[in-house]
Amino acid sequence: MAETETRMMKVLVDPERLSRFDFGPAHPFKVQRLALTFDLLRAYGLIDRDDVRVVALREAADEEALGFHSQGYLEALRLASSGMWVPNQFSHGLGTTDNPVFPDVYEWAMLVAGGSIDAAAALIAEDAQRSFNVAGGLHHAMPNRASGFCHVNDGVLAIQRLRAAGKRVTYVDIDAHHGDGVQQAFYEDPNVLTISIHQTGYTIFPGTGFEEEIGQAAGRGYAINVPLLPGAGDEAYDEAFESVVIPAIEGFRPDTLVTQLGTDAVVGDALANLRMSLRGFERAAERFRSLGVPWLALGGGGYDVANVVRAWTLAWGVMLEEAVPDEIPSGWMTTAAAQGVTVSRLRGPSDVPPTPDRVMEALRNSVESIRRTVLPILEDAAGRG
pLDDT in tens, 95-152: 999 999 999 999 999 999 999 999 999 999 877 999 999 999 999 999 999 999 999 9
Q: What is the mean pLDDT of residues 283-309?
A: 98
Q: Name, in order, each residue with C-beta under 8 angstroms of 384's C-beta and a sequence gap of 6 or more.
A: none
By DSSP bridging, strand 192-199 and strand 52-56 are: unpaired
Q: What digits encode the pLDDT tens for the residues 223-247?
A: 999 999 999 999 999 999 999 999 9
Task: Classify domain 3-384 at the CATH class level.
Answer: alpha beta
By DSSP bridging, strand 223-228 and strand 295-298 are: unpaired
Which ranges of 267-385 does DSSP label H, i.e. alpha helix?
278-290, 305-320, 330-337, 357-373, 375-384
Q: How high is the pLDDT of residue 8?
A: 83
Give the Cα separation of 314 and 322 in Å (integer): 9
Give the Cα separation of 113 and 151 in Å (integer): 10
Using CB atoms within 10 Å of the CB of residue 302, give its burial: 0 to 12 exposed, 13 to 18 middle, 19+ buried: buried
Half-sphere exposure of 53 (CA within 13 A, CB side): 18
What does the angle CA 19 – CA 16 – CA 93 come to, to the nearest 5 degrees?
50
Q: What digits encode the pLDDT tens for the residues 157-174?
A: 999 999 999 999 999 999
Please, which pLDDT band fits residue 86 given cuts at 50, 70 and 90? confident
Residue 140 annotated to the active site: yes
Task: Indicate which residue of 92, 139, 140, 198 is catalytic.
Answer: 140
Give the Cα separation of 340 and 343 in Å (integer): 10
Q: How high is the pLDDT of residue 235?
A: 97
Q: What digits encode the pLDDT tens for the residues 3-47?
A: 344 448 999 999 999 999 999 999 999 999 999 999 999 999 999
Number of helices (H), then strands (E), in the chain = 14, 8
Give the Cα separation of 123 and 295 in Å (integer): 8
Report the candidate in 183, 115, 159, 185 with the shortest Cα–Cα distance to residue 256: 159
Q: What is the mean pLDDT of residues 251-279?
A: 97
Q: How high is the pLDDT of residue 163?
A: 98
Query: CA 318 → CA 12, 257, 285, distances in Å?
Result: 13, 15, 6
Please, which pLDDT band fits residue 380 given cuts at 50, 70 and 90? confident
Predicted TM-score (pTM) of the model is 0.96
